[in-house]
Structure 1
Amino acid sequence: MTTETVYPILTGKRALVVGVANEHSIAWGCALAFRKLGAEVVLTYLNDKAKPYVEPLAQSINAQLLPLDVTKPEQMEALFATLAEQGKLDILVHSIAFAPKADLQGGLIDSSLEGFLQAMDVSCHSFLRMARLAVPLMAQGGTMFAMSYHGAEKVVPNYNLMGPVKAALESACRYLAYELGPQGIRVHAISPGPLKTRAASGLKEFDRLLSDALNRAPLGELVDIEDVGNTCAYLASPFAHHLTGSTVYIDGGLNIIA
């Protein structure tokens, strides 16, 4: 008889995971993996409407739960002030994105200035704002993650406005990796294959995208949130302490197919 052994490689680490909406969220997969490997986890919820979906998940892993709407500067400052009072931060996961439906489902050429700026602010610049506040809490080093998609590098039909936005996010990760490397802070863009999340449901013809991924990926399987979480846990661990600035694909090899 064998017993599964969990190696607590993240014991003593503290992770802030932003973007859990429900049990299907990529951010939730990250939170589960971090907790399984011994990390203390802090989750955020967007607003009172979202809280009932996130609170039971936080309770199930003994995670602290705090409010955060990244469009409200005072909430972000309050969040990091609370974290600073409680101690250090070792891991930051930014897994949020937003674009108005009309801009997301229309062609890029038809996108509004307001919609484009809103998508860029929530999906990209908010990561920079979080990073700036997180750095003082990572005096002993740390790891930051932002969630991207292959549509940042190649044209994916119907990804539209989010393609340029995610491209900016991936570039921001590289520049942060350069700037923060001397402080022992590593930064990665994570690029999962298509996943059935609430955010993805807003994409036009998303079911066709899933089917295409399943048929074309070399491994012949779709990835899930646990795949993403396990990869992030590895990258946050001592086993990956010399890796930074990467865009890491977790897509069964789909990105290598022309």
Structure 2
Amino acid sequence: MNFLNIDKKKFIVFGLANKKSVAAVIGKTLLAEGAELIHVVRSEERKKTAQKLFPDSRIYTCDVENEENIVRVRDEIASCIDAENGGRVAGIVHSIAFANYSEGMKPFHETIKADFLQAIDISCFSFIAIANHFKDLIARDGSFVTITISTTRMAAENYGYMGPVKAALNSSLCFLAKSFSDFSNIRFNAVAAGLLKTSASAGIPGYVDSYLFAEKAILRKKALTTQEAANTAAFLLSDRSSGINCQTIVVDAGMEVNYFDKDIITKAVS
């Protein structure tokens, strides 16, 4: 038995887009520990990508912006696993975020309502909806893990309204855990990752410069890897983390304590 004790246990991973996705790296990490994977992706195009990366895993499609799709994919997955392992999965990963800056980047106070509400729907409410509709498919001591950002208290201009959206996602953890405690021991936690080199991040205006700055601000002067975030997610999905609930676990290699790094200060004021 390996340390995580997830061998032959089933996990559902929402959100894979390509090989650089956090969801993809989490999936590879779980597979390496002997787990069985079920991937849920947004489109048929992404399904083809997922099938190449995970040829032995079941792949389903679901655009979470339409809640009926979440119900549909729940039923599709349930019909396939009902006879296996009591029809239960050990954990579910939510690695979904979307922002449509329909008129380009604007000052936060000029945020467009439709863009903000769509981002809340896809990036936050989808987590709540997945938890609700999949509650009977997850083991009574199972684990939900979502992916968020290392801090929602820093007003990064190029991240725009997604900071408050992620804050809403973080806040949902304790409310979901409290609701589920009436009938289970299911836990809800988040991996709050620092800046990562993913395709989705690359689409954020000015992200490369922010990423390079983060590398200088990290104590070890080396960027955070997606694998490091995935390792934390795998731990939170396992019963080795059974005492952790309603927590946002920051994975930033110590960046949050080092904004007054002397080298950065010297370059900034010179």
Q: TM-score, normalised by structure 1?
A: 0.91
**Counterpart amino acid of 2:78?**
A
Change (3 A) 1:168 1:8: closer
Secondary structure, counterpart of 1:50 in structure 2? helix
CA distance in structure 2 between the aligned counterparts of 1:123 and 1:167, rounded to whole angstroms: 11
State the Cα distance separating 1:240 from its structure 2 match: 1.1
> Is 1:205 the counterpart of 2:206 in the alignment?
yes
1:42 equivalenced with 2:38 (yes/no): yes
1: CA distance, partners of 2:188 / 2:11: 14
| CA contact 2:195–2:224 (8 Å) conserved in 1 | yes
Distance 1:101 1:17, change over 3 A: same
Q: Distance between the aligned counterparts of 2:119 and 2:104, measured in 1?
A: 9
Q: Deviations over 1:49-79 (max 9, x none)?
A: 32332220121xx211011110223321121
CA RMSD of superposed structures (Å): 1.8
Q: Which residue of 1 aligns with 2:14?
A: 18
Q: Give the match's secondary structure for 2:45.
A: coil
d(CA) in 2 for partners of 1:66 and 1:138? 17
After superposition, the Cα gap between the structure-2 partners of 1:158 and 1:240, relative to the gap in structure 1 and judged at 3 Å, is: same
Tell me how far apart the structure 1 counterparts of residues 99 and 67 of structure 2 sit (CA, whole Å): 19
* SS of 2:12 mapped into structure 1: strand
Mark the structure with the bigger radius of gyration.
2
Once residues 9 and 103 of structure 1 are traced to their aligned partners in structure 2, the CA distance between those partners, rounded to angstroms, is 48
Runs of 4+ in 1 over 3 A off after TM superposition: 5-8
Task: Specify the SS of the correspondent of 1:143.
Answer: strand
Equivalent residues in 2 for 1:1-258 (5 A)?
A: 9-59=5-55, 62-85=56-79, 86=81, 87-102=87-102, 105-181=105-181, 183-258=184-259
Instruction: Give the drift of 1:12.
Output: 3.4
1:217–1:254 Cα contact (<8 Å) kept: yes
One-letter identity of the residue aligned with 1:17: V
- Distance in 1 between residues matched to 2:9 and 2:25, nearest whole Å: 17
* Equivalent AA in structure 1 for residue 5 of structure 2: I
Across the two proteins, how many residue pairs are aligned to each other?
252
Does the C-alpha gap of structure 1 residues 32 and 43 become closer, same or farther in structure 2, counting only changes over 3 Å?
A: same
Counterpart-to-counterpart distance in 1, 2:204 and 2:7: 38
Q: Which runs of 5+ in 1 are unaligned?
A: none
Q: Does the 8 Å CA contact 2:51/2:57 hold for their aligned counterparts?
A: no
Structure 1 Cα separation of the partners of residues 240 and 250 of structure 2: 18
Residue type of the partner of 1:54? A
Q: Which runs of 5+ in 2 are unaligned?
A: 82-86, 260-270
Distance 1:241 1:7, change over 3 A: closer
